[in-house]
Amino acid sequence: MDTGLETQTGGRVQRLREHLDGAFCCTYADGLTDLRLPDLLATHRAAGLTATLTAVRPRSQFGILDIAADGKVQRFIEKPLLREYINGGFFVFEPGIFDCLTPDCVLEREPFERLTAGGGLAAHRHEGFWACMDTYKDHETLDARWRDGEAPWRVWGAEGV
């Protein structure tokens, strides 16, 4: 379904309403992960809420300095895994999500903020591999990992997936 070049993320999901019946999975499609869908679905079902997003902890794109009070560098930590979680872009929605969407809304703004305020948004913490492919550099890095056989997201055919 062509949703148009200018349609925001929430509007794209909203246009699917007539084609869906029951809970459904959704993704931004610009991320790679070794997320197990059965685990995401189990979290969603256990929460019993309108929406569940996948929370991931990305790596810093920069090295971090540990600096003592006297200004001396104690250590250098190369691109650590961040403590904070971000929206990893993999979701499970109940049909009630459509009540939060408008043709021009940005999914992660108004709808998610409304769901959060009403206690209707759950998070599935995924501690495995996740990477976004937002830039050409991301594409090159992930493509090289695929070619080199270092692709943790390559789970097709793996037992239990």
CA distance 152 to 101: 34
Q: pLDDT digit of tens for each residue in the chain (161 aa)?
A: 777 788 898 999 999 999 999 999 999 888 999 999 999 999 999 999 999 999 999 989 899 999 999 999 999 999 999 999 999 999 999 999 999 999 999 999 999 999 999 999 999 999 999 999 999 999 999 999 999 988 888 766 555 54
The per-residue pLDDT for 1 is 72
User: How much of the chain, in percent, has pLDDT values that exceed 90?
Assistant: 78
Give the pair of three-digit tokens for residue 37: 């869908």
Paired tokens of 78: 């190369």
Rg value, the chain, Cα: 18
Which domains are present in the chain? 9-58+84-147 (3.90.550.10)
- What pLDDT shows up at residue 156? 61
Angstrom CA distances, 32 to 11, 21, 54, 73, 151, stand at 23, 27, 12, 35, 9
Residue 126 token pair: 């995924």
pLDDT at residue 2, rounded to an integer: 75
User: Quick one: pLDDT at residue 158?
Assistant: 52
Cβ atoms 127, 58 nearer than 8 A:
no
**What's the confidence (pLDDT) of residue 7?**
87
Q: Is 118 helix (H, G, I), strand (E, B) or coil?
A: coil
Q: What's the predicted TM-score (pTM) here?
A: 0.84
The set of residues, in sequence order, having a beta carbon less than 8 Å from that of 159 and lying 6+ positions away, is none
Residue 62 carries which side chain, given as an amino acid letter? F
**Contact indicator for 151, 145 with CB cutoff of 8 Å:** yes
The answer to whether the CB of 90 falls within 8 A of the CB of 31 is yes
